[in-house]
A and B are shown apart, each in its own frame.
Chain A
Amino acid sequence: MRVADNTSSWSELLSAIFSNPEKGALFLVLLAGAWRWIRELWREGKDDEHHESLVETLMEENRRLREELRKEKHDHYDE
C-alpha cells in the first residue's frame, strides 16, 4: 500500500513537472545550479585542505633543518 502510494505520488510529481514546462525548467535549472555550486564548494574545501597540509609540511621541514643546524653547531663547539 505504501509502495503504491509512493509510486503514485512520484508519478503525480513527474506528470506535474512534465505537463508544466516552466516547472520542469525551474526544477532542472535549480538542480544543475545546485550541483555546480556544491561541486565548486567541495573543490574549494579540498584546495584549502591541500594548501594547509603543504604549509604544515614546510613548517615541519623548517623545524627539522633548524634542529639539525643546532645539533651541528653544538657538535662543532664540542670539538
Chain B
Amino acid sequence: MLRPTFLGFRTATSGLKVNQSVMDVIGQNISNINTKGYTRQRLDTTSLAFNTSSIKFGPTGVVIGQGVNANGTSQFRDPFLDLRYRTQAAKAGSEQVQTEALGDLEKIMDEINNDKINEQFSHLVEQLRNLTSNPSDPVMEGVVRTSAQMLTQMFNNYSNQIDTVRDQQLNYLEDGAIVRVNQLMENISKLNKQIRDDNLSGNPALELNDQRNLLIDELADYMDIEVVTTPLPIGAGKTIDELSIVLRGQTDADGKSIKLVDNDQFGKLDIDKVNSTDDKVMLKFTKIDGTTDSDFNSKIKGGQIEGYLKILNGKGDFATGTDNFEKSQGVLYYRSMLDTLASTFANEMNKLNISKEISDIPALDADGNQVKDAEGNLMYEHPLFWSDEAEITAGSIKISQAWLKSTGSYLINKNTPSEGNDDTGATDNILKMIDLFNKDHEFKTPGGVDIFKGKIQEFLAHTITRLNLQKADTQTSYDAYAEGQFQLDYARSSMSSVDMNEEGVNLLQYSKSYNASARLMTVLDEMLDTLINRMAV
C-alpha cells in the first residue's frame, strides 16, 4: 500500500492534541479537588486506523494505525451507588427529624438531671403527710394548696412547651422542608432542561450533571425517591437521556407512578390543612398535569417529610383512625399521656374531698366527663382541681376557685363525723389522699383503651421512660443509617473523588507523552529533510 509522504505528521499531531486535552482534564480535576459533588473526569480516547472497507481492493502490505482520537469526556460514577446512597438518605432523614423532635420533648419531660413534675408530686405528698401532723390547720393546708398549685402550673407549663415543640415542628415542615423540596424540584427540572439542550448540541454537560446529582441527593433526604432515565432518540442513531424523579413504589389512583419531576416539568408540595378536630397535618401534591392529590400523606414513606408527619400526627395508643402516621408516638401522644395523667389525678382527688359517701356524688357522666351544674360549677362537693374546659387537661388544670378563696380549712379530714364535738384532728381522709399516690389506678384513653395500670407517679415515669426508649431507639436507627450513608458516600468517593497522587502521576505521565509526540514530529521532520535535501545529492 502506498504511504502518503506526510502520514506520520497526522499521528504526531493527534498525539500532541490528545495529550494536551488530557492535561486540560487533569487541570479541571485538580482545580475541583475540593468542589462539593464534583465527579472525577477522564478523556475517552481510541486509537485511529485506516478504514479499508470502502476501497475496491484489499490493502496490500502492512496496515499501521494513524494516531489517537479523543471521543469525549466522561465521569467516573456508579449509578447503583447513587441509588443505594439515596435510599439510605431517605431512611436517615426520617430518623433524624424524629430524633431531634424527641430530643426536644425529652428536654421538657426528662427528670434525670433536675427535679420537675415527678418531684412536685412527691412534694405534694410530703405536704399532705405534714398535714396529718396538723390536720385542718389553715396554714398547713395553705402549704398543701401552694404545692398543688405549683403542680398545676407545671402541668400547664409542660403542655405549653409540648405545644411549642409541635408548632416548631410544623414550622420546620411548612417553611423549611416543604419550601426546600419545592425549590429542589424546580431547580432539578431547570437543570434537566439545560442538560438536555447541551446534550443535543453534543456537550456532555458533566458539571451540570454534578450539580443535578447534588440536588437529587438532597431531595432524597426529604423523600424516598427513585431516579428514572429514559433514552430519547435524537436522530442519526444518537440518543440523549431524559430524567424524571418518582416516589419509590407509590402509584396514583390510575396505577401510574407519581412524578415529582419529569424532565423540565415539576410538581408542587403543600400543606393542605391542619385538621381542627384532631390536629392532623394533611399534605397535598399538585401533579405535573395540574391535578391535585390530597391524600398525599399515604404516599409518603421515608425521608424527612415522613419524620415530620410521624412526629406531628402520631398519637400512638390514642389513635382513632387508621392513618399509618397516627399509630406512631408523636408529640400528640405525649401530650395526651400528660392529659390523661392530669385528669386522672385531678378527678380522683376531687372525688376524695367529700364529707359524704362517694356514691352520693355524681362524679363522672357516662362519657367520663365531669358533671357541671347550670352555672358551670363542678358537681363535686369541694372541688380541689378545676378546668375551664369540658375536661381537665394538662394545659387547663388549675386549682378550683373555691379552694383558692377559702380562708379556713378546705380539705375534708374525715368522712364520718365522730361522737364528740370536735374531730378536726382526725386524719382519715387525708390518709386516703396520700393513699391515692400509693394505689394502682387504671389509665385509659378517652376511647377506653387501657394504657397503664399503676400508681400515679409510676404512670408519669412510664410516660417519660417511653419517651426515653423511643428517643434511644430512633437515635440508634439514625446513627446506623447515618453511618451507612457515610459509608456509601465513602464508597462513592472512592470511585468519583479526585486523588492528588493520581493526578500528579498523570501530570508527569501525560507531559512525557506530550513531549514524546513532539519528539516524533521532530524526528519525522529530520527524516523528510534527509529524504528531500540529502538524498542523491
Do the two shown chains form a genuine complex with each other? no
B residues touching A (Cβ–Cβ < 8 Å)? Answer: none
